[in-house]
Amino acid sequence: MGAFWRVGVMVLLVGVLVAAQFLRADHWYPLGSLGQYAYPRDPDGDVINTYVMGVTTTGDEVRVGLTPGSAGISRVEFEVQLPEFQADPDLLGDIVEAWQDSHPPHVLTSVTVYENISPMSAGALASEPYDTVVLTWEVP
Amino acid sequence: MTAALALARRVLAWLVPALPRARVAWVRTALAVMAVLDVRYFLNSTGERGATPDLFAPVLVAEWLHLPPVTDGVAQMLFVGVHLGAAAVALGGFTRVPAAVQHAGGLVLGGSYLLWVLWAMSYGYVSHDHMAIVIGMLVLPTAGTSRYGGGPAADSVAGWPLRMIQLFTVLTYLGSVLAKYVFSGGSLLRWATSGTLAWAFIRRPNDVNQLLVQHALLLRAAQWGALLLEIVSPAVFALRGRWLALAIGAFMSFHLATFVLLGIHFLPTVVCWSAFVPWERLPAWWRARRRTAALAPA
């Protein structure tokens, strides 16, 4: 009898994994979409790298590193949630607080989100990357 | 009728195979060591999420378990649980240690590690190298007692969790082919000729990949190579001995290349390849080696 439930569990889990691929169900982890680098990036498109700079109370411009250890969030997570930050920039407050906690004695007065843009052509880097500003948020 | 029955038996014997019970002890310890390294150095973000509860975006299983955002205290408990569980699993493989130690260790390690990983994946980004190891942690305790020195004795209760780890290790690659097919709108050709590798290099620039990022032809060839390797991954089930070792070596080289080029180590999946390795032969080989050394003239 034992073999039957073992086969059952196996078939069920594999079935869930296969379904997750078609549904692109990332949040079905551990049987979610295995979509890492699965998206076919436009070989003639732009590559966007998001980064955050802050201005401290002493007037210095500092890089707010997007890692869980530095700001409680990774760069990919930040980019996934970027539309939410654009809709409600106050959400950046959590990140500012986490970064200040891990970088005493720095206190930020404002943060600016940048996108660094690298143009590609035929699936390779084609020209020099450049920066654009996404949003600036004054810390209340 | 009898042919159908014989086929069903063969399928069953493949899905739930008799594999050496001793191998379970070795694989358990390999996964346990990986779990400790993981919570310390790789997937250590769970310990750093206490400050940002608003960013909590639970994966489905975390939702079912009604997990709240992780706190520093809970993260520390799980961190300790993974260490204690791993130590018990590793020690429990020795014959002199009571079986209860490996049983309790397996449960504590499996539970702590599962929760740790679920929380790590519940803040927006889900990584894809943690499938087989988590499945393994959950199914390995069903094998029951296993010792490093158990020899070649095989049974299907020990074989099933090992097969599960083997299967989900291979499915990590084959499933990613399916994901590429879906994400590319039903055309793997589109993925193979895309700008994905250049995109990845630009996203994670380092000294090595910056040498390659402007070479379109080379990047395209690499994409074809990776895709083909992933497609043929199930072939490892048909291989034995040296050929199997060679195939495992090919996948190790693939991961070494992605590590050098992208800083992606994929170690939690790499460790799961251990379920294909005949560790159970190691103690006898070691004894024979020592005997030969002792007999050899000085």
Same domain, A123 and A66: yes
What pLDDT shows up at residue B49? 82
In this predicted structure, the answer to whether residue B271 has a pLDDT above a threshold of 80 is yes
Q: Is residue B3 part of a domain?
A: no
* Domain identity same for A61 and A130: yes
Q: Is there a domain that residue B11 lies in?
A: no
pLDDT tens-digit readout, B88-142 = 999 999 999 999 999 999 999 999 999 999 999 998 778 889 999 999 999 999 9
How high does pLDDT run on average in chain A? 93
Query: Do both A94 and A132 map to the same domain?
Result: yes
Per-residue confidence band for B298, with pLDDT thresholds at 50, 70 and 90: low
The pLDDT of residue B29 is 98
User: What's the longest Cα–Cα distance across chain B?
Assistant: 71
User: Residue B213, exposed/middle/buried by CB under 10 A (0-12, 13-18, 19+)?
Assistant: buried
Q: Are residues A22 and A56 in the same domain?
A: no
In a domain, A106, yes or no: yes
Candidates B16, B179, B197; nearest CB to A38 = B179
Structural domain boundaries, residue B134: 18-278
Percent of chain B with pLDDT over 70: 99
**Secondary structure (DSSP) of B234-267:** GGGGG--HHHHHHHHHHHHHHHHHHHHHH----H
Residue B256 has pLDDT above 70, yes or no: yes
Tell me the average pLDDT across B8-15.
Answer: 93
pLDDT tens digits, A91-139: 999 999 999 999 999 999 999 999 999 999 999 999 999 999 999 999 9
Helix, strand, coil tally for chain A in percent (to 5) = 40, 30, 30
In a domain? residue A41:
no
The whole-number average pLDDT for the span A23-48 is: 93
B31-69 pLDDT, tens digit per residue, is 999 999 999 999 988 887 887 788 888 999 999 999 999
Cβ–Cβ below 8 Å for A80 and B130:
no
Looking at the complex, report in whole angstroms how far the Cα of residue B295 sits from the nearest Cα belonging to chain A.
Answer: 47
Residues of A whose CB is below 8 A from B15:
6-7, 10
**Domain total in chain B:** 1
Q: What is the Cα–Cα distance from B48 to A100, expressed in whole angstroms?
A: 14
| A53, A16: one domain | no
The shortest CB-CB distance from A101 to any of B51, B58, B121 is to B51
State how far the Cα of B33 lies from the Cα of B87, in Å rounded to an integer.
9
Q: Do A43 and B123 touch (CB under 8 A)?
A: no
